[in-house]
A and B are shown apart, each in its own frame.
Chain A
Amino acid sequence: MRPVISKPTRRTGALRPLNAPSPLRIQTDATGRVVSIWRQGRLTPRTIATIQDCWRIDDEWWREHAVSRLYYELVLDDGTLLTIYHDLLADLWFEQHG
């Protein structure tokens, strides 16, 4: 398994975005499938029970910083419903409400 540490890009200014993504650490199995996540501020990782939904957003490709994300709606082993995404350009993982 390979832990991945990610960090979001910091945005400054008078406006503070709501629902900003927060970084996640993930662990994958030998096939590259995500099997557990480690949320910010938590002491232990949580195992993923099921993936309920998956969708992709490709946007702002005309800008310098394009957006390409693969979202997953997950159920964790303790029943928590969670939305995470994989930033396909930066190869980083974040938690964010959909």
Chain B
Amino acid sequence: MRRQSWPDVRVACVWIAQLPLRVEILRHPAWDGRPLVLGGAPGERKIVQLCSPEAEAAGVRAGLPLREVVPLCPEAIVLQPDPVRTAAVLESVLADLQRVSPLVEPGLNDDGYLYLDLRGLRAMYGELAHLEEAIQAVVPPLLRPRLGFGSGKFAAAVAARMAAPGAAQVVPAAATEAFLGPLSVRHLLFLEPDILQRLELLGLHTIGELAAVPFNAMQAEFGPSGAYAWRLAHGKDTEPVVARPVITSIQDGLRFDDPLGSVEAVIAAIDQLLAHTFAQPALLGRSVRQVRLRALLSDGTSWERQYTFKEALSTRDAARRALKSKLDLPNGLPPAPIEELALELLGLGGEAVRQPGLFIARARQLAEIAEAACQLRARYGRLPLYHAVEIEPWSRIPERRWALVTCDL
């Protein structure tokens, strides 16, 4: 596609394919080009979660039992997940990209996608090539970032997927439909597998074939997902780039000369961290709903857990008791001695107090339900509570009589 100085593009997408493996290569540059395999963490299923193209060439596939990796590819390097370092690298790249564009949105589930809003940046960079250089300059080359520029997030993400590692693909707004047309509907990653299967059964294998179906037919057959897919196929992507919300947290960490191996030692270290964090002025008169523990382990791997308390806690002792009950569970502690431990308090709110009453059983029940709802929302990010309401109680068809609606508390 011929480059103009600044084609009509609104979003840039930086995609780091196989992020956990690229992070390991960043730590060990000599591993670049060698077959890498990511297995399950201790306690998880012993299967291949991710493998590099070199391992794939030897016949290794995701889902393969780990014991079958070595016979297939004797030189494979089998790694354990390192969520702490992966998150730290992604966080660092995101922070650096925020110097290129003020609006940067990380993709869901740390899938390696980062979106930059390009509106207003032309005055600063002049040419798109200069912006591309600025992006490439802040992402470590060993991560092999792929860049996509498009009129919306979807087109930019697909362009990034189609770009070669370390290169960029530009899809101007006017060319979006023609660019997407020949591509497989499997690029519509948000569609559920059964919808993709139904699309293919209907003979709609490419995005262009999907675009040729009338809008109302797509909406009637596949609901909101179908309507959204149709709009994307026509290059109508209005979804904005949303910067990640700033989450206030308080954190502290410890490094140990002798790695901590015993439960008592870990609990003591956590108690020390809780003492430091709860003593910080920012937490005065406030409560905590979540705590995140991150550890770097002596075997070179890392460990991360996030716990949500059943109620907001405002004292160190209450947090210690709640955390100890979680750590005492099987697999509650890291599988190897801890070299570094960080504790982060999240979900800060007003101070939690309790005032028991005599004749307010109903009100107290509602308050307890509201409290439980807050805890569920903090744990799952949405509220999985519903009211059962009568719809057609007279219906002879059982599923028409009652329905669940989202509960707003």
Contacts and interface: CB of A to CB of B under 8 A. Distances in A.
Contact of B396 (A13, A19, A57): A57
Nearest to B400: A17
Given A57-B397, A59-B396, A16 B223 contact: no
Contacts of A98: 398
A19 B404 contact: no
Contacts of A16: 386, 403-405
Contacts of A97: 398
Interface string A53-90: 00001011000000100000000000000000000000
B397 A59 contact: yes
Interface residues of B, number: 16
B404 A20 contact: no
A71 to B, nearest CB: 9
Interface residues of A, number: 17
Interface string B380-409: 000000101001000011111111111000
Interface residue SS majority, chain B: mixed
Chain A interface mostly: loop
B404 A15 contact: yes
A19 B401 contact: yes
Contacts of A12: 223-224
A18 interface: yes
A60 B392 CA distance: 13
11 contacts: A12-B223, A13-B223, A15-B403, A16-B403, A17-B399, A17-B403, A17-B404, A18-B402, A19-B401, A20-B399, A21-B399
Interface of B: 223-224, 386, 388, 391, 396-406
